[in-house]
Chains A and B, each alone.
Chain A
Amino acid sequence: MGTLGTAIYLAVVFVGGWWLTTRGIPKAAAGIGRRLGFRMRMTPITAKRIQRFKRIKRGYWSFLFLSITFVISLFLELIVNHRPLAIGFKGRVAFPAVEEWAGKALFFLPISSFHSRKDFGQAGENEVDYAFFRKCIENPDALRPEIRKAEEKMRRAEKRFKRLSPPGKDASEFQRERYARRKAAYEKRKGQYETVLAARKDFESGEAWILPTLYPFSPNKVRTDIEERPPNSPSLELGIPLGTTTSGRDVLVLLLYGYRISVAFALIVAFVGYFVGILVGGIQGYFGGWVDILSQRFVEIWGSIPFLFTIMLIGSLMTPNFLMLAVLMIVLRSWLGITFYVRGEFYREKAKDYVQAAIGAGVSDWKIIVKHILPNAMVPVVTFAPFGIVAYIGSLVSLDYLGFGLPPGTPSWGALLRMGLENVKFHPYLVTVPVVALSLTLFMVVMVGEAVREAFDPKVFSRLR
């Protein structure tokens, strides 16, 4: 693609990510919010807190870095993928990476990223070997062994076919069938041979082109281009900056996809959990009485369930997928912590004059909760969210590490760590890479959390002597 192309690609990725994170998504969210009837007016206190947060540089920069990288990672299929962004062969154009991304983003639409080999000058019916396709563009001679192989296969089929004479009238059913089968096989091999042979000319005449992604490897693909036996230590010369796993998968790719999964999991668990927690805590605090007493007992008991152990128990019964794990985490843990704070906040706020006045004036319960109490209850939510995210990333990593989390094959940091444990003696990079990645990520989240806490609730320090 050339250095210039790569540079432009990188620039598009990062500028795009930055723009989406700082402008696009907030604007869209505000727009949707307005549609739904929430009026987003910032109180002076909130404005001041945000200002204070921005002034704490290490927290603010961590926040920017994390959110921008996460937003970029949502488009990871377009950036790190063995399927190319676009591919053309003899006038046929396809966009496999884009299709794959769209298929995941719009999962309810049947979008397929599959393209058959035979349409792209390769032998067979399977998916196109994009890496080989690329190699052929660079050097059509690469096709030579392929042609020889195809030819050999064709000859063999031909021999097997020619050995038979066409079945006569009195030929048995079996003979007929065998003849037809061998004929079809021969024709198929012949077709493949012709395709490959013709492809060579097409590659030579420049009728084939490909626009690969920035890092053309996928998480579930083995790095076949590395000749030595895996695991391979990191090597820039070989083009494996972080090495490969014991099965030959690219660690960098796993790390990037794992980042997306971990952060997405934590965000979903945290925010859905907070939503439920606010609801429950709000009901407890607002209505009080028996509802409150009973549900508090329940929360207390529910909170005493050793949740990781329970999830592992369930994980040993069935292999939960991403969604199920998230639901389990939410149900067993993430909604609990916040209820206490929201409940307390509701109790305090409800006792205040303005809420009592609103109640007296006949304003509906729902309106009072949403308009008056909820904004105040948001403070603990915001200050706890980062630490919640640290905990949930940690939980997912722990589950995967023990092997009771996401299905095997899913790119996950926990699985990488387990591989590290198994290879701690002889392949140190398999430990170093995920440990550093996980620690750095969590450290940045903690920095954000600390900055948010400092901005929302600055510790006064006064000292007497």
Chain B
Amino acid sequence: MNPHEESDEERVLLEVRDLKTWFDVEGRTAKAVDGVSFRIRENEVFGLVGESGSGKSVTSLSILRLIPDPPGRIVGGEILFRGKDLLKLSWSEMRKIRGNRISMIFQEPMTALNPVFTIGFQLTEALRRHAGMSKEQARDRAAEMLELVGIPDGGRRLKNFPHQFSGGMRQRAMIAMALSLEPDLLIADEPTTALDVTIQAQILELMLEVRKKTGNSSILLITHDLAVVAETCRRVAVMYGGKIQEIADVGPLFRAPLHPYTRGLLLSLPRPDKEKPPRLSTIPGIVPSILDMPKGCKFATRCPERTERCDLEEPELREIEPGRYCRCHLVEPLPVGERKGGGE
């Protein structure tokens, strides 16, 4: 082992290894997440990209073990958080991590808050539980957090109920809630998808900004929007069909995507830097049903470059170059020195 790798290893905050989360759907098994592995380092913003139904949300929920059982269950794998396997913790130990060391922001700000309790009540709950604050302390901290996420007059706003907030404000409140205990990891599951386009960028920026001001947490950002990833993340994993198809640093991924699926995703993005944007390209076909996944490569049904082998045999996720992984028969690992596209 070389020293460089060891220090890198030290900085790993969360490592997911071969995670499998399956669901029972009318007597059949849907493998929503089927052998997912990735690492998130300290203070890193890590993106997890994929279409809806690719298993990215289930992956994120699995980390906090928020999989509804029944019908779902985490079948196998490890989730190492600072070296400790979260899947082996007792529920009470797990609760000490949730909301405290790892917190989460959800996609739907309209329903993610309890309608019958005040914002203040919901904001202070975790503070009082995890940090053992008194009622007054917790209220002050909550008010401070509200101001920090750009809700003026936080002290008064604490008395409001969620329905008195707009969607954007609710998501701000969620961010305040999630970051108030300065967690090590913030999981943001499509935090801007349900919001107005005009607010999306604001909220994203706010999230990064507040995170810097609080504990400089790592962020696992789950999104279907590559543009968001490009702006915020350092590393990205691309998911399709319950599996990770490609992991790379953001720069190389955008410059030279390896997996045909990633390429398709990138091509479907409008390119503001080009003067005349090419016709918006989309990937043909639809995501296959989670119950009827193809036997070979999961992307084979829609892949423009598919070969016979792709139908028969599922490719492995292989390291193509250091820090860069791809799951495709057509992409061979290259010896050092012959890397195309160049490094950073």
Contact = CB atoms under 8 A, between A and B. Distances in A.
A462 B66 CA distance: 11
Contacts of A464: 66-69
Interface string B57-91: 00000000111111110000000000000000001
A461 B66 contact: no
B133 to A, nearest CB: 25
Interface in A249-304: none
Contacts of A465: 65, 69, 91
A463 interface: yes
B92 to A, nearest CB: 10
Interface in B163-195: none
Interface residues of B, number: 9
Please classify how large the interface on chain A is, using the bins under 10, 10 to 19, 20 to 34, 35 or more. under 10
Nearest to A52: B26
B66 A463 contact: no
B91 A461 contact: no
B27 to A, nearest CB: 11
Interface string A442-464: 00000000000000000001111
A156 to B, nearest CB: 85
Contact of A462 (B65, B71, B91): B71
A164 B69 CA distance: 104
Contacts of B69: 462-465
A1 to B, nearest CB: 51
Interface in A410-465: 461-465
Interface string A231-256: 00000000000000000000000000
Contact of A461 (B67, B70, B72): B70
Contacts of B70: 461-463
A464 B73 CA distance: 11
Contacts of B65: 465
Nearest to A465: B91
B285 to A, nearest CB: 22
Interface in B95-109: none
A166 to B, nearest CB: 98
A465 B91 CA distance: 7
A243 B51 CA distance: 72
A463 B66 CA distance: 9
A55 to B, nearest CB: 11
A54 to B, nearest CB: 15
Contacts of A461: 70
A465 B68 CA distance: 8
A162 to B, nearest CB: 94
Nearest to A461: B70
A461 B91 CA distance: 20
Contacts of A463: 68-70
Nearest to B91: A465
Nearest to A458: B26
Interface in A335-349: none
A462 B91 CA distance: 17
A274 B70 CA distance: 37
Nearest to B67: A464
A200 to B, nearest CB: 74
B119 to A, nearest CB: 22
Contacts of B66: 464
A462 B68 CA distance: 5
B70 to A, nearest CB: 7
A216 B225 CA distance: 80
Nearest to B71: A462
B7 to A, nearest CB: 37
A461 B24 CA distance: 12
A462 B25 CA distance: 12
Contacts of B67: 464
Contacts of B72: 462
Nearest to B66: A464
Nearest to B72: A462
A462 B72 CA distance: 9
A464 to B, nearest CB: 6
A396 B109 CA distance: 50
Contacts of B91: 465
A463 B91 CA distance: 14
A461 B70 CA distance: 7
Nearest to B61: A464
Interface in B13-70: 65-70
A182 B71 CA distance: 93
Nearest to A460: B71
B96 to A, nearest CB: 14
B284 to A, nearest CB: 24
A425 B71 CA distance: 54
Contacts of A462: 68-72
Nearest to B94: A465
Interface string A298-341: 00000000000000000000000000000000000000000000
A464 B67 CA distance: 7
A463 B70 CA distance: 6
A453 B134 CA distance: 48
Nearest to B69: A463
Nearest to B68: A462
A463 B67 CA distance: 8
B47 to A, nearest CB: 26
A465 B95 CA distance: 9
Interface string A25-43: 0000000000000000000
A419 B287 CA distance: 68
A206 to B, nearest CB: 66
Nearest to B95: A465
A461 B66 CA distance: 14
A106 to B, nearest CB: 49
Contacts of B68: 462-464
Nearest to B65: A465
A464 B91 CA distance: 11
A52 to B, nearest CB: 9
A350 B92 CA distance: 50
A360 B67 CA distance: 45
Contacts of B71: 462
A462 B71 CA distance: 7
A463 B71 CA distance: 8
A87 B97 CA distance: 88
Nearest to A48: B26
A252 to B, nearest CB: 45
Nearest to A462: B68
Interface of A: 461-465
16 contacts: A461-B70, A462-B68, A462-B69, A462-B70, A462-B71, A462-B72, A463-B68, A463-B69, A463-B70, A464-B66, A464-B67, A464-B68, A464-B69, A465-B65, A465-B69, A465-B91
- Nearest 3 pairs between A and B by C-beta? A462-B68, A465-B91, A464-B68
Given A461-B70, A463-B68, A465-B91, 6 more contacts: A462-B68, A462-B70, A463-B70, A464-B68, A465-B65, A465-B69
